[in-house]
Amino acid sequence: MLHHSHYTQRLRNYFDHLDPRSRELPYTLDGQLLNAAAMSVEASENRMQREIDAQSLGTCPANLDNGGIYYRTPVPLSLPITTSGPSKVEGSRAGVYKVLQPFDDTLPVPSAAVLDSSRSSVPCDSPVLLTVTGTDLPQDSGAINLPIPNRLYFWVTNLGNSASTISVMLRGQTYPCDYWAADLLPQSETVPISDNGLFVTQKTWQSVEDIQVIGLPSSATLQVLLFPFGCPYQADPLRPVSLAAYRDILFDRYWNVNGQLLEEVYAINRWSGFEVVHNYQLPVPMDGVAVEPNTYGLFGYSGTKVYYADRREPLPDNLSRAVITQEPLYSLSVSYDQTHVGRIRAVTIHGIPHESAAQLRQCRLRVEAPNGVSYAVTASGALSSLDGPSGWLGGPLPNLSLALPWTGTYVFTLECSDVNNLITQDVQVYLNSVLTPLATLEFNRLVPAVKGLGFDARQRVWVWTGSFLVPMRFSYDAFIYDASSRSVYTTELYDSVRLTV
């Protein structure tokens, strides 16, 4: 499936700011062409970053490549097979065959979850280890208990107008711990904090003897967490946000469950608050989400169910209709309306004038809904029947807010008639998204409830039940075909493997 790359806006920002159609509108022809290039750039950067991270034990992407364990099945020489491999691979257990999927380490879709026998469950009453309320004075917390070795996370809010940099100084034993007497001296790390948001230590800590917080203003709060699922927002470091108004500046992307919606948000600064860059209607209410490190996976959890989804923004349908063949009087801008209140989402719509905009006599905005029915949009932002002269407005299109009662792709068309009654139009598509899980896993036989899901410093999975951290691992029921060795490599061990050419 094709996606709208987070790199695309970074490329569009090299258009002149006086060309808002090319710089701001995501699905124009030039936007679509840039997205194809952006997806390639994004894939190359991810591969390169993985190689760089693999040079250090502390940053090695250990959750990839199925832990490096595969099971080989040679393809018989008598079986004719192309270099692309078999068209179908099935694995059998107890005489029951299951279709295996090609393994994709950028989006490894799990088929099941099991308890990890190499680790033990540990008591944990809360992912929040410490809460510090600012006093403008240095504060010393003393020792804190770590249920498991991990990096520590800091969630900072309400910094206000403070211009000072906050320093969080940790002292204790790092992991893995050295057992030579000369090496048992306490280690230290200082984490600088200059804004609201989520920060993380570079070192993995086994025990913390002391935490000092210096420079935290009286209006602010700092939480020390074992896992980020204790925060209301989950950071997505793999996909920063770019904006048309800020060339070469990247903003942190966060995920947030807001009622029936899953939102991708960012903050320009600490005073503006979070703004929505994209959102999805959830198939079921969820208690929280977790970003899978090093991949495009996203876990959501509700009760004892865990959902796995692709967190990249999907492209809408009907992209070919967003291509113009004649310069319009006005371009059409359609974007999410963050001011709209209610369960039904809405878009804000306005026109962007072109060079010949002064020749406009009247205009009409019509929309084709996902159900295939076309409507005219009135000046008040309501849908009306599309017949005869309905919907025509004298003068330019006013700024509108239009509620979207259906999910799916909407096709908006702005028709403009000039003084010579020549009609030009601009078409824009908009996807009112729904989160579609790629897999649904039932955890009721493993834990009584899923209150949180997170990844430790080695990217191993832990599920928090509310009182315990339970170690988990995922199985994938997937395969890789290697043409050079004429072999199929499966992620799990099967009694037999059946191939279809």
Per-residue pLDDT reduced to its tens digit, 361-414: 999 999 999 999 999 999 888 898 888 778 898 889 999 999 999 999 999 999
> Six-digit token pair at 284?
């079921």
Residues 6 or more apart whose CB falls under 8 angstroms from that of 280 comprise 261, 262, 263, 433, 434, 435
> Six-digit token pair at 268?
């320009």
| Sheet with 496-500, side-by-side order of all strands | 71-74, 487-490, 478-482, 96-102, 88-93, 496-500
- Phi-psi bin for 376: left (phi > 0), alpha (psi -120 to 50), beta? beta
Looking at the domain assignment, is residue 91 inside a domain? no
Looking at the domain assignment, is residue 153 inside a domain? yes
What sign does the dihedral 427-281-252-221 (CA atoms) show? positive
The answer to whether the beta carbons of residues 301 and 295 sit under 8 Å apart is: no
Cα 385–chain centre separation: 38
The answer to whether the beta carbons of residues 456 and 57 sit under 8 Å apart is: no
Looking at the domain assignment, is residue 452 inside a domain? no
Bridge-based pairing state of the strands 478-482 and 96-102: parallel
Residue 42's pLDDT is what?
Answer: 95
Q: Could you give the CA distance from residue 463 to residue 128 in angstroms, rounded to a whole number?
A: 15
The answer to whether the beta carbons of residues 239 and 5 sit under 8 Å apart is: no
- Residue 140's alpha-carbon distances to 9, 129, 216, 226, 330, in angstroms, are 44, 14, 12, 19, 60
Cα 36–chain centre separation: 19
Q: Are residues 323 and 424 in the same domain?
A: yes
Angle at 354 between CA 353 and CA 356, to 5 degrees: 110
Domain boundary among 43, 60, 77: 60
- Look up residue 243 and give its DSSP letter: E
Q: Could you give the CA distance from residue 432 to residue 434 in angstroms, rounded to a whole number?
A: 7
Residue 183's pLDDT is what?
Answer: 61
What sign does the dihedral 72-74-79-85 (CA atoms) show? positive
Tell me, what amino acid is at 492?
A: E
Looking at the domain assignment, is residue 220 inside a domain? yes
Q: Are residues 40 and 138 in the same domain?
A: no
The answer to whether the beta carbons of residues 479 and 488 sit under 8 Å apart is: yes
Tell me, what amino acid is at 187?
A: Q
**Domain count along the chain:** 3
Beta-strand ranges (E) seen in 103-150 are: 112-115, 122-123, 128-133, 139-140
**Low-confidence spans in the chain with pLDDT less than 70:** 1, 178-179, 181-183
Tell me, what amino acid is at 261?
A: L
Within 10 A of 64 (CB to CB), how many other CB atoms are there? 18
Q: Are residues 326 and 418 in the same domain?
A: yes
Residues 6 or more apart whose CB falls under 8 angstroms from that of 466 comprise 449, 451
Residue 252's pLDDT is what?
Answer: 95
Beta-strand ranges (E) seen in 121-201 are: 122-123, 128-133, 139-140, 153-157, 166-174, 187-193, 197-200
Looking at the domain assignment, is residue 390 inside a domain? yes
Domain boundary among 15, 35, 60: 60
Cα 368–chain centre separation: 28
Using omega within 30 degrees of 0 as the cis cutoff, is the peptide bond preceding 293 cis?
no
Q: Could you give the CA distance from residue 219 to residue 198 in angstroms, rounded to a whole number?
A: 17
Looking at the domain assignment, is residue 457 inside a domain? no
Q: Could you give the CA distance from residue 121 to residue 431 in angstroms, rounded to a whole number?
A: 42
Instruction: Name the helix (H) or strand (E) containing 235.
Output: strand 234-235
Within 10 A of 327 (CB to CB), how many other CB atoms are there? 11
Q: Could you give the CA distance from residue 336 to residue 431 in angstroms, rounded to a whole number?
A: 10
Q: How many residues does the chain have?
A: 501
Q: Are residues 46 and 137 in the same domain?
A: no
> For residue 27, what are the domain limits?
1-60
Residue 142's pLDDT is what?
Answer: 86
Domain boundary among 195, 226, 257: 226
Q: Are residues 46 and 135 in the same domain?
A: no
The answer to whether the beta carbons of residues 206 and 150 sit under 8 Å apart is: no
> Six-digit token pair at 460?
């191993």
Residue 493's pLDDT is what?
Answer: 94
Phi, psi torsion values for 441, nearest 5 degrees: -110, 135
Q: Could you give the CA distance from residue 24 to residue 27 in angstroms, rounded to a whole number?
A: 9
> Six-digit token pair at 466?
């509310």
Residue 182's pLDDT is what?
Answer: 60
Looking at the domain assignment, is residue 494 inside a domain? no
Q: Are residues 323 and 427 in the same domain?
A: yes
Point out which residues pair with 353 in neighbouring strands.
330
* Closest to 489 (Cα-Cα) out of 54, 60, 91: 91
Instruction: Name the helix (H) or strand (E) containing 469.
Output: strand 468-475
Tell me, what amino acid is at 40?
A: S
* Closest to 463 (Cα-Cα) out of 227, 241, 157, 246: 227
Place of tokens 């980020």: 228
Looking at the domain assignment, is residue 342 inside a domain? yes
- Residue 183's alpha-carbon distances to 179, 186, 337, in angstroms, are 7, 8, 57
Helices (H) and strands (E) in the chain, counts: 3, 40
